[in-house]
Amino acid sequence: MRKLTSGGGWQAIKYTFTKGRQAGGIWKLWKAMRSKNACKTCALGMGGQSGGMVNEVGSFPEVCKKSLQAMVADMQGAIQPEFWKTYSVAQLAKFTPYQMEHSGRLVQPMLYERGAGNYRPIEWEEAFRRIADKLKSLPADDTFWYFSGRSSNEAGFLLQLFARIYGTNNVNNCSYYCHQASGVGLASTIGSGTATLVLEDVEHADLVFLIGGNPASNHPRLMSSLKHIRRRGGEVIVINPVIETGLVNFRVPSDPISLLFGTKIATQYVQPHIGGDLALLKGIAKQIDEMGAADLQFLAEHCDDSETWLAHLRELTWDEILTKSGVSREQINDIAARYAKAKNVVFSWTMGITHHAHGVDNVQAIAALAAMRGMIGRPHAGLMPIRGHSNVQGIGSVGVTPQLKRAIFERLESNFKLQLPTSVGLDTLACMEAAHRGELKLGFCLGGNLYGSNPEQKFAGEALEQLEMMVFLSTTLNTGHGNGLAKETLILPVLARDEEPQPTTQESMFNYVRLSDGGPRRLQGPLSEVEVIARIASDTLGDAGAMDWKSMQDTGKIRDAIAQVVPGFEQIETIDQTKQEFQIAGRTFHTPIFPTPTGKVQLFTHEIPPLKGGENQLRLMTVRSEGQFNTVVYEEEDIYRGIDRRDVILIHPDDCRRLGLAQDQKVEIHSDVGLIRGFLVREYEDIRPGNALMYYPEANVLVARRADPKSKTPAFKGVVIDVRPLGSDSSAAAVV
């Protein structure tokens, strides 16, 4: 398959027409895309009251393939009753993610009881009764509550509140597998866990660092902003072990010139080894210091302990930096020179930074590098974690974390006369491990695919099978509905955001809260998420206590509560009347005053871990292709990387020669926790030698449960593997 030479472009436009046909006509799809709802897909979260496809600076039409994919999936017909009779659970377990998603929309509560062979439909009343009876029979800490980022603030707030009043803090969201390191790293450094800037700041920057991310494929409309920066003569430095096509050249579909000729994105493209960023970031800082380009006044006035931090940089040897990053001194000097001359610099990053056992250290090092030249706490510069799901940030803001922020905890207790649990809640991986030990009895998932997104797939399946009951609130099927099933598994069909009967709100990665109007239901059967949650809460706890759960079916009531208890969310109380979307107060830093105990930036020093892997091993990253959204695979091919299938491993030709491997050869891939047999080698020039790339979720069997101790995020990109020709090691017993 030929590799594209640019990202975006005509491919994206052609795709719109194809998808339009699948959705029952272009006009129907256009109307759905333009409705006043926040985009359901990525955390740029465009749309809302300005209408779909409009971003925070009013630019239109900003649409991308992923948003179309998600919309068309929601516009599918219903899964027919025969489906459940035709396919046993054993057969569903073998369905691909694509087949699961394309089976249709869930419209009926479904129940699987172990031993039954198939799921069977049940009435909503029976579903509610079963769940409430089970919850009433269990100690609260025997349950856990997992949230994907796709739901609304209202649903997230309500469910976490119910879980806590029920009695547990085992409440967490997919952030633990995503940007938790950004939250922890930023909060420790500047006292606030999200982006320090707004989109407009990015548009005015003259240098953007893009570290460990592939927004051309994963946050496509961010590319419009990068295009503006390049057109104005600004620079983009990409730090990524893989040369990603769309980061070199991107054709912005809404811009005729860019569409025809493409826009060059990266001014400088640097390829460290996987896991080499910490060394590289410190190298850039050391060079800035040696050049005398540090902003010593900012360091002295607005940072604590800058002397210790500078001394740490000065003690590091260049030898260590160069060996552990895999980047040459010349390249580091070049990056530093560009940084030193830039006036407004934005640092952005994604999973290449957070999916490591030293993810928090990486984020702290980025923040320190920015602080070193005074790039935090003023307009047109700052820190920008490029978040994952649409509204994953909002879910966290409104309390979907094991430990509530102190202000939220106190206000909930005092305003609502509640007594909330103070036990230590489990993070996502800890829940999986506790379940595996048989300590948890019930799981409740508001969206997501906990089975598919976990490291050590086999372990994940075993853990979930230990549960007595699992409850899923889902829109469509995914592999988690066919694998790792609890003794009793219930799937409750819910409405998508743009089908909600009442307005809901979502928060973008720029801390901007949008209002989604909802819209007409497409199918009979699914209920609104808040309706389902309020009903289960009411059936379990009754309405005589501190909360009148039945009344909480009203999203306006939930927003009143959010406005009262979540700092910065005061304006949400009247948002459905005023239609006034808003920036969350206290999150954007245009002046250098930070909510840390001293009001200053905290700078951290770190030990740099050695590069992983031995002589004949490779470092492996598990990543997305443009044709998937997380565990949902829409297309087998990866058009940007020119790869036609997913059961492959991408290895540099030099490594292939060194390891005696050839193009399309079948191999076995060993890590210390798993083995994959029969995948094909693809020689891939664009990856830094010594490193390899595989697709998630297929490669999850190879990823260990080893997590960053500070963020509890597994090292999805820090896997060490041996690759051998298939059959060369007959002693290996494990089979995938």
Residue 251 binding target from ligand MGD, ligand SF4, Mo ion, none, CB below 5 to 8 Å by type: none
Q: Shortest distance, CB of residue 46 to ligand SF4, whole angstroms?
A: 4
401 or 476: CB nearest ligand SF4: 476
Q: Shortest distance, CB of residue 215 to ligand SF4, whole angstroms?
A: 8
Main-chain phi, psi angles of 663, to 5 degrees: -50, 135
Out of 214, 258, 401, 711, which residue is the one contacting ligand MGD (CB under 6 A)?
A: 214
d(CA 452, CA 95) in angstroms, rounded, equals: 13
At 661, the amino acid letter reads L
150-179: which residues touch Mo ion (CB under 5 A)? 178
41 or 454: CB nearest ligand SF4: 41
178 or 265: CB nearest Mo ion: 178
d(CA 359, CA 1) in angstroms, rounded, equals: 34
Q: Measuring CA to CA, which residue among 286, 275, 290 is closest to residue 361? A: 275
Residues in contact with ligand MGD, total (CB under 6 A)? Answer: 60
Q: Shortest distance, CB of residue 512 to Mo ion, whole angstroms?
A: 19
Out of 4, 68, 199, 351, which residue is the one contacting ligand MGD (CB under 6 A)?
A: 351
d(CA 502, CA 218) in angstroms, rounded, equals: 29
CA dihedral over 491, 493, 497, 501, signed as positive or negative: negative
d(CA 58, CA 65) in angstroms, rounded, equals: 20
67 or 271: CB nearest ligand SF4: 67
Q: Shortest distance, CB of residue 279 to ligand SF4, whole angstroms?
A: 32
Cβ atoms within 10 Å of 637's Cβ, excluding its own = 15
Out of 326, 385, 388, 394, which residue is the one contacting ligand MGD (CB under 6 A)?
A: 388
Q: Measuring CA to CA, which residue among 497, 495, 468, 465 is closest to residue 480? A: 465
Q: Shortest distance, CB of residue 358 to ligand SF4, whole angstroms?
A: 28
- The percent of the chain in helix, strand and coil, each rounded to the nearest 5, is 40, 20, 45
Residue 306 binding target from ligand SF4, ligand MGD, Mo ion, none, CB below 5 to 8 Å by type: none
Out of 55, 143, 151, 516, which residue is the one contacting ligand MGD (CB under 6 A)?
A: 151
Q: Shortest distance, CB of residue 178 to Mo ion, whole angstroms?
A: 3
If one asks whether residue 640 binds ligand MGD (CB under 6 A), the answer comes out as no
- Cα 9 to Cα 69, 638, 640: the distances in Å are 17, 16, 12
211-270: which residues touch Mo ion (CB under 5 A)? none
| Structure tokens given for 72 | 């068309």
Helix (H, G, I), strand (E, B) or coil at 135: helix
71 or 527: CB nearest ligand SF4: 71
DSSP designation for 140: G
The 446-475 contact track toward ligand MGD, x by CB under 6 A, reads xxxxx--x-------------------xxx
If one asks whether residue 171 binds ligand MGD (CB under 6 A), the answer comes out as no
Which residues in this chain contact ligand SF4 in the complex, by CB under 6 A?
A: 39, 41-42, 44-46, 62-64, 66-67, 219-221
CA dihedral over 658, 663, 665, 670, signed as positive or negative: positive
β pairing state of 7-8 and 110-113:
unpaired
| Structure tokens given for 563 | 């406005």
CA dihedral over 239, 243, 246, 250, signed as positive or negative: positive
Residue 150 binding target from ligand SF4, Mo ion, ligand MGD, none, CB below 5 to 8 Å by type: ligand MGD
| C-beta separation of 198 from 583 below 8 A | yes
Bridge partners (DSSP) listed for residue 493: 474
Out of 275, 388, 690, 714, which residue is the one contacting Mo ion (CB under 5 A)?
A: 388
624 or 724: CB nearest Mo ion: 624
At 690, the amino acid letter reads G
Q: Where would I find the beta strands (DSSP E) of 520-602?
A: 582-583, 601-602
Q: Shortest distance, CB of residue 317 to ligand MGD, whole angstroms?
A: 22
Residue 170 binding target from ligand MGD, ligand SF4, Mo ion, none, CB below 5 to 8 Å by type: none
The 714-733 contact track toward ligand MGD, x by CB under 6 A, reads --xx----------------
d(CA 175, CA 714) in angstroms, rounded, equals: 11
395 or 530: CB nearest Mo ion: 395
| C-beta separation of 707 from 600 below 8 A | no
64-103: which residues touch ligand MGD (CB under 6 A)? 66
Render 494-526 in DSSP notation, one character per residue: B--GGG-SS-EEEE-TTSEEEEE-----SSSS-
Listed ranges 87-95, 318-326, 532-540, 617-625: which one lies at the site for ligand MGD (CB under 6 A): 617-625
At 646, the amino acid letter reads R
178 or 322: CB nearest Mo ion: 178
401 or 478: CB nearest ligand MGD: 478
**At a CB cut-off of 8 Å and minimum separation 6, what does 306 contact?**
299, 300, 603
283 or 592: CB nearest ligand MGD: 283
If one asks whether residue 350 binds ligand MGD (CB under 6 A), the answer comes out as yes
If one asks whether residue 276 binds Mo ion (CB under 5 A), the answer comes out as no
| Structure tokens given for 486 | 């609890």
If one asks whether residue 502 binds ligand MGD (CB under 6 A), the answer comes out as no
**At a CB cut-off of 8 Å and minimum separation 6, what does 37 contact?**
47, 48, 52, 497, 498, 516, 517, 518, 519
Q: Shortest distance, CB of residue 572 to ligand MGD, whole angstroms?
A: 19
If one asks whether residue 395 binds Mo ion (CB under 5 A), the answer comes out as no
If one asks whether residue 259 binds ligand MGD (CB under 6 A), the answer comes out as no
Q: Shortest distance, CB of residue 497 to ligand SF4, whole angstroms?
A: 12
41 or 194: CB nearest ligand SF4: 41
| Structure tokens given for 414 | 């005092």
SS3 for 345-402, per residue? EEEEECHHHHCCCCHHHHHHHHHHHHHHCCCCCCCCCEEEECCCECCHHHHHHCCCCC
**At a CB cut-off of 8 Å and minimum separation 6, what does 474 contact?**
106, 445, 447, 481, 491, 492, 493, 494
240 or 364: CB nearest ligand MGD: 240
394 or 674: CB nearest ligand SF4: 394
52 or 388: CB nearest Mo ion: 388
| Structure tokens given for 528 | 């609104």
Q: Shortest distance, CB of residue 215 to ligand MGD, whole angstroms?
A: 6
Q: Shortest distance, CB of residue 266 to Mo ion, whole angstroms?
A: 23
| Structure tokens given for 250 | 């991107």
**Among all residues, whose Cβ is closest to ligand MGD?**
352
Q: Shortest distance, CB of residue 154 to ligand SF4, whole angstroms?
A: 20
78 or 509: CB nearest ligand SF4: 509
Q: Shortest distance, CB of residue 241 to ligand MGD, whole angstroms?
A: 5
Residue 64 binding target from Mo ion, ligand SF4, ligand MGD, none, CB below 5 to 8 Å by type: ligand SF4
Residue 610: Cβ-neighbour burial (10 angstroms; 0-12, 13-18, 19+): exposed
Listed ranges 157-165, 388-396, 453-461, 645-653: which one lies at the site for Mo ion (CB under 5 A): 388-396
Residues that bind ligand MGD (CB under 6 A): 42, 66, 148, 150-151, 174, 177-178, 211-214, 217-219, 239-242, 244, 274-275, 277, 350-352, 355, 388-389, 446-450, 453, 473-476, 478, 494, 496-497, 529, 621-624, 626, 628-632, 696, 699-700, 703, 716-717
Residues that bind Mo ion (CB under 5 A): 178, 388
